[in-house]
Structure 1
Amino acid sequence: MTLPPELSPEHWITHVFSAKAARQGGVIRRNLRDIERYVGRSAFEDELKRRGYHAVENAGQLIIFCNQEPIRLIL
């Protein structure tokens, strides 16, 4: 689904976290460019903190763990 550019930050966040994987406590991936364009990185990080979620960044992508479980990086 393509989102309109005039989508409000609140609606964009609602859209992101209403994805099936997010609702089920899974993992979602978003492009940092989209996060910055629709809501701003700082506001998005505030929302992650509010929800108790974790995320990792790699190659312009943010991998978001939609649960409060600990993360262990495996090298």
Structure 2
Amino acid sequence: MDIARTRAPDDWIATIFAAQAVAKGGIVRRDDRWVDREVGRSRFEFEVRRRGFHLVECGGQLIVICNQDGMRVIC
């Protein structure tokens, strides 16, 4: 069963990137199916890139590392 979008894509993006974790350079995590439904993967990736952040996908989760520093995957 498909679940309808809960709000306008621009509003959804604004809400996600207004989180305190973003302002502190932390991380935000969202279910990949939720992102696909609300704004689509390409729009989400565009918004992450536009901010100079990093995006990792693991186990059905999209993890945004909200800083522009270099990144190294340890394991």
Output the amino acid matched with 2:39. V
Return the alpha-carbon distance in structure 1 between the equivalents of residues 48 and 39 of structure 2: 12
Aligned to 2:34: 34
Quote the RMSD (CA, aligned, Å). 1.3
SS at match of 1:14: helix
Structure 1: which 5+ residue stretches go unaligned? Answer: none
| Structure 1 length-normalised TM | 0.89
Alignment of 1:1-75 (within 5 A): 5-75=5-75
Q: How high is the TM-score relative to the length of structure 2?
A: 0.89
Task: Look up the equivalent residue of 1:47 and give its one-letter code.
Answer: E
Structure 1 position 42, deviation (Å): 0.3
In structure 2, C-alpha distance between the alignment counterparts of 1:63 and 1:5, rounded to whole Å: 21
Count the aligned residue pairs: 72
Which runs of 5 or more residues in structure 2 are unaligned? none
Shift of 1:6: 3.7
